[in-house]
Structure 1
Amino acid sequence: MRRGRAPSGGPVRPGRRVPVHDLRTADESRAAVPELRYPAHDVLVASGLPGSGKTTLISRTVAPLDEEGGTVVRIDSQDMREAWERRLPGWLPYALYRPLVRCAHYAGLRRALRADASVVVHDCGALPWVRRWLAWDTRRRGRRLHMVLLDVDPGVALEGQAARGRGVSGYAFGRHRRAVRRLVAGVEAGRPPQGCASAVLLDREATSALRGISFE
């Protein structure tokens, strides 16, 4: 399966010609890509280890509107968690209301999909059933699912968790590592995750160099 390389200074449109773009810049022959562009109304999943920078990537690069003037909906479970935390007493352990946060998160995602908007979803990578649901829903609505996968060293991801003051258990982090390792291996072999029309692989340097993600 063909894999795309970064054009010099130009945007990349994943899925147009090749399904996989390995844009990691550790190989000096690869130029940094300034922008990723997707078809309007498609769904993009940002996946990677906890602490790898998914939330920062989404908030920094995703344009608020697509080129048709429609709102680009950003779905991040961290936003939902913080919204609940603002409403509840600080002494209440998150574990007690985590199921409610997750239900609210998936309900918001379902509403976004039904609205036929361009959607960007924060994905932990450890729940394949979420991507299967997204793939099924986008396919039946005549849309496509794409993935941006952050390939970040586990030590760097743990530093990212510490910097934001939130971490996951050692058991959960190990589960995430195994899931993301499988995703990276598949993309490196030229295979997008099941149900995805395209996949883009970024390392920390390529993520920092990316200036925009837009829908056209």
Structure 2
Amino acid sequence: MNRTLVYATAGTGIAVPGQRPAPAPVVRDLRDRAGSGPHVLLFGPQDLVVITGLPGSGKSTLMRRAVAGRRVDSQDTRDRFAARLPRALPYTLYRPLVRLAHYTGLRRALRTGEGLVVHDCGTQPWVRAWLTRAARRRGGTLHLLLLDVPPDTAREGQRTRGRGVSRYAFRRHRRTTARLLDTVERGGLPAGCGAAVLLDRTAADALRRIAFTG
């Protein structure tokens, strides 16, 4: 197998036409590769991919650069609202509208039955449960892409983009992400996930395409 290409299907990790992958959970750790990690991640045509990590870890940047198919990113929804509203208007005032629009768009994208990449902040377990059910109905697998980025790096990412979260919210994200990372590092997976890929900043920067076969 070309080392710059990873088949991220569950089971054997090799996409075989006409054969569904085995349901055994798979964890792929692509951290600490010193820039030699894969350039492409490929998933099955009905799979769902959830990208999660700390705010500022680079989830939206990765999605915009690498996702070749459908993607649903709550940050895109927030940016669309922000572009139409006065800059002085606090985000907390229109956040419910952003969330409503985001989940409405996610529901619409899921109905297509196509492979989909979703930005997940990691603090809404019900969203992952929703995606798990959707993946099962379509005969696909729910994959988790977890960005393992130090808190200081994530904070710097927030400052760079000019949008941060409160200290309380960031602590909540840190606790949730730490628990998730600990589970995956021990070879476990969140309920409903068939596979997980661990990425540090170097591995994420090396990725050029996240796509779906078929």
Separation of aligned partners in 2, 1:149 and 1:171: 22
Separation of aligned partners in 2, 1:212 and 1:78: 20
Alpha-carbon distance, 1:141 to partner: 2.6
Partner residue of 1:12? Answer: 6
Separation of aligned partners in 2, 1:110 and 1:46: 17
Alpha-carbon distance, 1:172 to partner: 0.3
Alpha-carbon distance, 1:90 to partner: 2.5
Structure 1 position 62 matched with structure 2 position 67 = yes
Separation of aligned partners in 1, 2:166 and 2:72: 23
Bigger Cα displacement from structure 2, 151-160 vs 8-17: 8-17
Contact 2:55 2:154 in 1 (8 A): yes
Separation of aligned partners in 2, 1:153 and 1:8: 30
Separation of aligned partners in 2, 1:177 and 1:8: 35
Of residues 44, 53, 72 in structure 1, which corresponds to 2:49? 44
Partner residue of 1:163? Answer: 160
Separation of aligned partners in 2, 1:169 and 1:10: 38
Alignment of 1:119-130 (within 5 A): 119-130=116-127
Alpha-carbon distance, 1:8 to partner: 6.5
Structure 1 position 84 matched with structure 2 position 48 = no
- C-alpha RMSD of matched pairs (Å): 1.6
Of residues 33, 43, 46 in structure 1, which corresponds to 2:38? 33
Partner residue of 1:69? Answer: none
SS in 2 for 1:116: coil
Amino acid at match of 1:52: S
TM-score using structure 2 length: 0.88
Structure 1 position 96 matched with structure 2 position 99 = no
Deviation string 1:125-158 (CA, Å, 9 cap, x unpaired) is: 1111110111012212322211110000000000
TM-score using structure 1 length: 0.87
Unpaired segments of 5 or more residues in structure 2? 13-24
SS in 2 for 1:74: strand
Alignment of 1:189-204 (within 5 A): 189-204=186-201
Amino acid at match of 1:13: Y
**What is the total number of aligned residue pairs between the two structures?**
200
Partner residue of 2:111? Answer: 114
Alpha-carbon distance, 1:202 to partner: 0.5
SS in 1 for 2:145: strand
Separation of aligned partners in 1, 2:152 and 2:87: 29
Structure 1 position 205 matched with structure 2 position 192 = no
Partner residue of 2:31? Answer: 24
User: After TM superposition, which residue ranges in structure 1, 4 or more long, deviate above 6 angstroms?
Assistant: none
Contact 1:8 1:31 in 2 (8 A): no
Separation of aligned partners in 1, 2:76 and 2:136: 27
Alpha-carbon distance, 1:185 to partner: 0.8
Unpaired segments of 5 or more residues in structure 1? 1-6, 64-71
